[in-house]
Amino acid sequence: MHIGTDIIAIERIERLVKRYGIKFKQRFLSKKEIAVARRVESIAGFWAAKEAISKALGCGIGAQLSFHDIIIAKDHRGRPYFKLTKEAQKVHQIKSCSLSISHDGGFAIAVVVIEQ
């Protein structure tokens, strides 16, 4: 089992969204993720989630894993989950995983547990 966590100031993401708009969102989110994460708190949570996932996998965001290799979604209850692209799954071989995202007090945080 591997655990990853990340925290980010929502204000930081808000500044980037105001400055770069959709181009910033497209840098790390898919079209479906952009549709789901409409509020800046949710966008910050998705950023933290992708960073936490990369930390749990031990590779960070880079050559072995890009932001677009990670797909964040929500189930019918609104609970977040993620999956990797087929190519990334071949490399990282995740057997099971769990994701939690929260935001409060100007921060968004994500925690992930991954079994490979």
pLDDT digits (tens, 9 = 90+) for 20-39: 999 999 999 999 999 999 99
How do residues 71-87 score in pLDDT, each as one tens digit? 999 999 999 999 999 99
Of 100, 24, 6, nearest to 60 by C-alpha is 6
Cβ-contact 11, 103 below 8 angstroms = no
Q: Which domains does the chain have, with CATH numbers?
A: 2-115 (3.90.470.20)
pLDDT score recorded for residue 5: 98
Could you give phi then psi for residue 10, rounded to 5 degrees? -60, -35
pLDDT score recorded for residue 54: 98
Cβ-contact 47, 55 below 8 angstroms = no
* Residues with catalytic function: 55, 103
The helix/strand/coil state of 61 is coil
The reported pTM is 0.95
How do residues 96-112 score in pLDDT, each as one tens digit? 999 999 999 999 999 99
